[in-house]
Amino acid sequence: MDTLTRITFDPAVMGGKPCIRGMRVTVGMIVGLVAAGRSSSEILEAYPYLEPDDIREALSYAAWRVEETEAPLAA
């Protein structure tokens, strides 16, 4: 996975959820908007402080997370 420079984690911002560039915009919010049928241009119009790369990285991060596998630790 390439480095995702726009996805940040900070316990003081949105409880540590993955956010866009330290803002109070979560990856989940962007994925939810896309799932609801919103286009990138609609999202950018509604949230003018976002950039097209923010949306792409949020979707890339979400895709990576759902493909990630967790292995139990051996006791």
Asked if the structure places residue 53 within a domain, the reply is yes
Asked if the structure places residue 75 within a domain, the reply is no
Q: How confident is the model at residue 75 (pLDDT cuts 50, 70, 90)?
A: confident
Asked if the structure places residue 2 within a domain, the reply is no
For residue 41, how many other CB atoms are within 10 A of its CB? 10
CATH of the domain at 59: 1.10.10.10
Q: Which tops the pLDDT comparison, 56 or 1?
A: 56
Asked if the structure places residue 14 within a domain, the reply is yes
How many structural domains are present in the chain? 1
Asked if the structure places residue 74 within a domain, the reply is no
For residue 13, what are the domain limits? 7-66
pLDDT score recorded for residue 68: 78
Task: Please write the tens of the pLDDT for every residue from 11-54.
Answer: 999 999 999 999 999 999 999 999 999 999 999 999 999 999 99
CA distance 3 to 67: 16
Residue 57 token pair = 């990285």
Q: How confident is the model at residue 69 (pLDDT cuts 50, 70, 90)?
A: confident
Q: How confident is the model at residue 1 (pLDDT cuts 50, 70, 90)?
A: low
Q: What's the predicted TM-score (pTM) here?
A: 0.85
Asked if the structure places residue 73 within a domain, the reply is no
